[in-house]
Amino acid sequence: MILSGKCGIQSRDCTLSQGVMPLSMDTKNLHITDLFKNFAKVQQELLRDCQSEMRQPVNGRFDRLLAHRSFQADSSVLRRALLDPYFPLGMLEQTVFADVDGMRFYINKRRHDLEPGLTEELEKWSEAFLRIRLDIQKLFDPETITCIPLDGKRHQLPTGQWCTLCGVCCQIGGVPPLPPAGVRYPDYWNTYLAGGAVNNQQLCPFLFQYFGEQRFFCAIHNIKPIACRQFGEEECRRRLVERGLHQYHVTHA
Ligand code: SF4
Ligand code: SF4
């Protein structure tokens, strides 16, 4: 059954945003970075617009992304992760797929020699996301473990607080994985939290996105590591200033 609502129809092509290449374009030689950005941009728009909660929108650019020659993993993993309303597409755009302008270097993420590494990283992020999502449900109470219940429904985001949920403080290589008293993490959570989810981890895999909004939240907020609990307003301001030293450039395909 096709649900009503702005995005109730699966596989529809929404009104094209500026900077998104048309579906009719030949994309077989496109770089993985462009394919990902095209997909991510439209998917986030669909998620933001979607009125129906339990049905996830799919945009026509997804199959083109999956068809990229460098993917090795089972495509169902990518499908389940990348179409989930909490998968951090916007954060991957800001980190993994963004050019990096350091003090003494520049990394262009459209370099062809980077393609195998980028596709592998996308696969690993997808696996990590699904694994964490499943374990949150199996081992903890998904209604209370985070500040936003992970039930696929829209809930009001926290308001009236200094944190804007920009997610910048969770763009990190790792944190000491020490849990609060009375909590025990699965062993692999310790590895992920400490920075071992991918090589050169630059994003915490517990950071989820809220329905395509540029709002990111900790999926384990109420049991997050002590180091994260101690991160306060002053550290936040410092972190946002320091971000300028290593600038990520989000360019559109
Ligand atoms: S950097 Fe500051 S505002 Fe952004 S998510 Fe972290 S604590 Fe919140
Ligand atoms: S555990 Fe939560 S608060 Fe800590 S870095 Fe990861 S996403 Fe951010």
pLDDT digits (tens, 9 = 90+) for 124-170: 999 999 999 999 989 988 777 888 888 888 888 878 889 999 999 99
Helix orientation angle between 75-82 and 115-139, rounded to the nearest 10 degrees:
70
Q: What is the mean pLDDT of the chain?
A: 83
Q: Whose CA is nearest to atom 4 of ligand 1?
A: 166
CA distances from 105 to 100, 108, 239, 245, 246 (A): 8, 10, 21, 12, 10
203 CB contacts (<8 Å, ≥6 apart)?
88, 91, 92, 95, 96, 125, 170, 171, 172
Residue 216 resides in a domain: yes
Q: Residue 12: pLDDT band by 50, 70, 90 thresholds?
A: very low
165 lines ligand 2 (CB under 6 A): no
How many degrees, rounded to 5, is the angle at CA 68 between CA 253 and CA 123? 95
Candidates 171, 204, 222: which one to mutate for ligand 2, based on the most atoms within 8 Å of Cβ? 204
Instruction: Looking at the CA of residue 164, tell me the nearest atom of ligand 1.
Output: 3
Please, are residues 246 and 102 in contact by the beta-carbon 8 Å criterion?
yes
Please, are residues 225 and 175 in contact by the beta-carbon 8 Å criterion?
yes
pTM of the full structure: 0.86
Task: Pick the closest to residue 245 from 141, 139, 52, 102 (CA basis).
Answer: 102
Residue 207 resides in a domain: yes
Residue 53 resides in a domain: yes
147 lines ligand 1 (CB under 6 A): no
Cβ burial of 11 (10 Å; 0-12, 13-18, 19+) is exposed
Amino acid identity of residue 218, one-letter, is C
Residue 159 resides in a domain: yes
Ligand nearest to the Cα of 220, by number = 2
CA distances from 72 to 96, 157, 219 (A): 18, 37, 28
pLDDT at 105: 84
pLDDT at 246: 47
Residue 21 resides in a domain: no
Percent of the chain with pLDDT over 90: 55
pLDDT digits (tens, 9 = 90+) for 190-235: 999 999 999 889 899 999 999 999 999 999 999 999 999 999 999 9
Per-residue DSSP letters for 82-141? Answer: HTSTTS-HHHHHHTTTSEEE-SS-EE-TT-GGGHHHHHHHHHHHHHHHHHHHHHHHHHS-
Would the pLDDT of 253 be above 80? no
Instruction: Looking at the CA of residue 172, tell me the nearest atom of ligand 2.
Output: 5
Residue 13 resides in a domain: no
Residue 66 resides in a domain: yes
Ligand nearest to the Cα of 163, by number = 1
CA distances from 231 to 16, 70, 165 (A): 40, 39, 13
Residue 136 resides in a domain: yes
Domains held by the chain: number? 1
Candidates 136, 168, 175: which one to mutate for ligand 2, based on the most atoms within 8 Å of Cβ? 175
221 lines ligand 1 (CB under 6 A): no
Ligand nearest to the Cα of 147, by number = 2
Residue 96 domain boundaries: 32-249
240 lines ligand 1 (CB under 6 A): yes
Percent of the chain with pLDDT over 70: 81
